[in-house]
Amino acid sequence: MSIIQKPQNFSALLGQIQQADSQLTKLASKAVNISLTLRNWLIGYYIAEYQLQGQDRADYGEQLFEKLAKQLKSLAVSRVDARELRRYTQFYQTYPHIRETLTPELKLQSLEMGDNISQIQNQSTTLWQTQVVSRLSFSHLVELIAIADPIKRQFYEVEAMQAQWSVRELKRQINSLYYERSGLSNNKAQLQQLANQSDPKNTPGLVIRDPYVFEFIGLKPQEVMSETHLEAQLIKKLEDFMLELGHGFCFEAKQKRILIGDDYYFIDLVFYHRILKCHVLVDLKLEDFNHTNIGQLNTYVSWYKANMMAQGDQPPIGILLCTNQNNALAEYALAGMDNQLFVSKYQLELPKPETMKAFIEQQIQQLAADSE
């Protein structure tokens, strides 16, 4: 069926819209993924070459990545923390032959993988790495470059492409020692079948939601994390509400991204309270209260306590707001705080839970009325 074709009946209309959505979403996903991967590879290439031949490289030495990150951020270049720059350099060093995919003769974006991936392994390294760029997201490649053994790495490349693993599934398979288990298995085909029974496929929608892709195409973290339009509006109104209360609130960040281990998390709102001398973290959930939510907020509070407290600061406070269309709950997370005098003081300075609950309920009603 051609995409450009007049629908003759309702059934044909449904089919053509579905086909257009599927095909063009795949193209968009692939184009964004390839551009992002090549962008990161080029950054790594430039850094590695500078380290080898830069005339003034001795002036920067071990501080190269930190100083480069600072200058790039001032130029509004995204995802260039020193940690990321090291990762891009490692990416280039792990996949040096990606250089050839930049030549017009290979026509990277038009290459398609055949059904039998094992046949590709017998072709040139250049063609194989072209497929790696074309079929795996950069988030996949981040997991792969951490594998030092090139044979083991290519094993996971093949399996990830053949089974269309999501990034989460790739990480799970690596952690489950799938490569080692495959080497010890007498029936590798059966093991492969079992390994791929329950994995979520890496659909174009999942690729486009990749945090790397979102930042690469210019979307802000709030756009990534907002569960619904309602939540986005509530966060904005909540920010204005707390600032309007006064009582020492100084706004610091919205959708604050923090790195815990190898994963990124987002805190809806971050304030500094100049009277209490502490950070106040606010997290909004459009669901009923559960222990997972309070546990997550306590994790954020503990991370801030370990990483963001300055001399003279009191431990941070977390405010959890759980909400649905009928009621709201405000909960304060103290992360084990035992300073009773400070607890008494924050109870005087922070808005009362009843005030927070009433505000949320009022805003939900107002937003619902505005949408009618």
More confident: 65 or 199: 65
Average pLDDT for 241-258: 84
Choice between 332 and 13, residue whose per-residue pLDDT is larger: 332
Q: Higher-confidence residue: 307 or 333?
A: 307
Q: In the predicted model, is pLDDT for residue 148 greater than 60?
A: yes
Helix or strand or coil: residue 317?
strand
One-letter amino acid of 273: H
Between CA 160 and CA 196 the distance in angstroms is 10
Assign a CATH topology to domain 228-371. Answer: Trna Endonuclease; Chain: A, domain 1 (3.40.1350)
Query: Does pTM surpass 0.75?
Result: no
pLDDT digits (tens, 9 = 90+) for 232-249: 777 778 888 887 776 788
- pLDDT tens track for 204-230: 655 565 667 766 766 555 444 334 555
Mean pLDDT for 73-83 is 89
Domain boundaries, the chain: 10-213, 228-371
**Does the pLDDT at position 7 exceed 80?**
no
User: Own/partner pairs for 136-139, CB < 8 Å, 24+ apart?
Assistant: 136/37, 136/160, 136/161, 137/33, 137/36, 137/37, 137/167, 137/202, 137/207, 137/210, 137/212, 137/213, 138/33, 138/36, 138/37, 138/40, 138/210, 138/212, 139/167, 139/210, 139/211, 139/212
